[in-house]
Chains A and B, each alone.
Chain A
């Protein structure tokens, strides 16, 4: 059974009950194939955060179906047993800020996830070093986060998101604090990693600089998504 790619169908999320109930998601459809990077764009209050939490297995949807490859995660009220383990093993997170642990060096920051999963420290660090090499920050492997530039910190954060080779990565405004050049560099890295590890990457963004780089874009408005073809400019 493959767990590559993500497919969601009719995803709904309701907060509260009765008269005070709020429908944050009213039927979201989305498909991201392995190796693909798509954009998710929407104004504040559109349901973007709720969708992100559902995709990240932080909250459960009220209705709808979500699958990773052939593996069903949610299906109309049914859910997979251990959402935390799913989050740890199948979903990578990249945030707006790198959120590196200040008292761990670069390698330990990246190795944190396999460590949490109980992998031996040496194996975890080996995985981390491989990714740091792929992201061209291996020379800072022993540095502390405070010694890195903003771009380096974000690359380390990307390495952390990829270290467990998750089939899905959720990147929440990953380029917001970066200038154009660095923002595009991050997108280039994400595309490269998506291709190399067959990862489906969803980039939530407001960043006008990077929107033209997506081949496909999902817009979300009032809890409903609309798909649009993007320009895919940088990589043409």
Chain B
């Protein structure tokens, strides 16, 4: 039999039983729609989280005190970890591939202006924050390039703090008390929004040495580095390690690149996408059982039809092909409807709940349709095989 005729016969079989075919295809459609919708949400969250992290750039690395690797040294021994210092950050500036260094100390404290007080994040940083963290100053300027060890008491406000404390007043040049000390406001940051629920605008930026004193710390929490694009990350790491190990005598710090962080985050988020997709897969499994049931009933109902086809010379392969063709047609139609439902659902969801990001990659759509066809194939094989084994004369006489 010609392929076109086989397709036409299979399609005729499907469309002759409209209600039954509709309900069967609906089962697959709901399954595929669930898979597409849930993976769209999973993928949307994936992309959202990654974009939240990459908003600071990708040619970044952070240095933290201490090591994450386990060594054989007994824990009872005196720690030989040297803290990260402002001097370390100044030394790192000398590496030619490094464009900017931000020493960082972070804490929480009150910011007071007249009768108003707001508890907010306080970042003790250097002057390179706008370049390294890719943040922009909306008004005034960022902290000046003072000697970080004896910087002047200047502060830069996040846009949220400015709104809360000054409303529509211009805060530039005004004095505020941060952690009980007086600071002059010299700049306001442009709004950066939230990152994973953390309000980046609800913060103030002060010189790092003053933050160390404010939080009674002797060392930095982190040093962030922006390096040149197009330069090998490994090359930069090597130079940073040579410098810091030379200064500390040992490798008592951990370097985390943005790439490493995104890799780890990406694999976690992939598992999340897979897990939500698997939940949708349960619906798809139910749909597959539906096709199996309907095709089994169809074979029983159509005994005479199969007997006739066999009697007039249809081969077992041709019968198999026709019934599998019907199952595949049903599942392909159901799958396509499911894609439309799932993508439509994702679109409506993104409008109705803007904070819940959705994204339907075209590759997933292709895979979902392939999956639907594969399920049709699997569900159709057993009934089709039974049909193909029927004795033609007995099948006709049993009617």
In-complex Cβ contact of A102 among B16, B309, B393 (8 A): B16
Chain B residues within 8 Å of A116, by CB:
1, 309, 312-314, 318
Evaluate whether A52 and B305 lie within 8 angstroms (CB atoms) in the complex, with A88-B312, A93-B311 already known. Answer: no
Contacting residues, chain A, for B396 (C-beta < 8 A): 95, 97, 99
Residues of A within 8 A of B399 (CB): 97, 99
B238 within 8 A of A: no
Q: Chain B residues near A52: list those with CB within 8 A.
A: 393
**Interface membership of B304, Cβ < 8 A:** yes
B392 within 8 A of A: yes
Q: Within the assembled complex, what's the spacing in Å between the Cα atoms of A108 and B307?
A: 17
Q: Indicate if the CB atoms of A84 and B313 lie closer than 8 Å.
A: yes
A96 to chain B, nearest CB (A): 8
Number of interface residues of B (CB under 8 A): 28
> B2: which A residues are within 8 A, CB to CB?
115, 118, 120-121
Is there a chain A Cβ closer than 8 Å to B308's Cβ?
A: yes
Cβ of B48 within 8 Å of any chain A Cβ, yes or no, is: no
* Interchain CA distance A208-B345 in the complex, whole Å: 68
B312, A160: Cβ atoms under 8 Å? Answer: yes
Would you call B313 and A99 a contact (CB within 8 A)?
A: no
Residue on B nearest A95 in the bound complex, by CB: B396
A103 contacts B16, C-beta separation under 8 Å: yes
Asked if B12 is at the interface of the complex by the 8 Å CB criterion, the answer is: yes
Asked whether B391 lies within 8 Å of A87 as measured between CB atoms, the reply is no
Partner of A87, one of B1, B4, B313: B313
Q: Compute how far the CA of A108 lies from the CA of B9 in the bound complex, rounded to whole angstroms.
A: 10
| A115 neighbours in B (Cβ, 8 Å) | 1-2, 5, 9
The answer to the question of B397 belonging to the interface, with a C-beta cut-off of 8 Å to chain A, is yes
Q: Does A8 contact B (CB under 8 A)?
A: no
Q: Is A112 an interface residue (CB 8 A)?
A: yes
Instruction: Verify A121–B312 contact, CB threshold 8 A.
Output: no
Q: Does B15 contact A (CB under 8 A)?
A: yes
**Interface residue B13 (Cβ < 8 Å from any Cβ of A):** yes
B309 and A103 within 8 A (CB)? no
* A224 adjacent to chain B (CB < 8 Å): no
Give the residues in chain B near A113, CB-CB below 8 Å: 312-313
Whether a CB of chain B sits under 8 angstroms from the CB of A53 is: yes
- Chain A residues with Cβ under 8 A from B193's Cβ? none
Question: A84 vs B307: C-alpha distance in the bound complex, in angstroms?
Answer: 13
CB distance from A123 to the nearest CB of B (A): 11
What is the chain B residue whose CB lies nearest that of A161? B312
Shortest distance between the CB of A57 and any CB in chain B (Å): 9
A residues in contact (CB < 8 Å) with B: 49, 52-53, 56, 58, 84-85, 87-89, 93, 95, 97, 99, 101-104, 108, 112-113, 115-118, 120-121, 160
Would you give 15 A-B contacts (Cβ < 8 Å), ordered by A? A49-B393, A52-B393, A84-B313, A87-B311, A88-B312, A95-B311, A97-B304, A101-B308, A103-B13, A103-B16, A108-B12, A113-B313, A115-B2, A116-B309, A117-B1
| Given pairs A56-B311, A85-B313, 17 additional interface contacts (CB within 8 A) | A58-B311, A58-B391, A58-B393, A87-B313, A89-B313, A95-B311, A95-B396, A99-B304, A101-B305, A104-B9, A104-B12, A108-B12, A113-B312, A115-B2, A116-B309, A116-B312, A121-B4
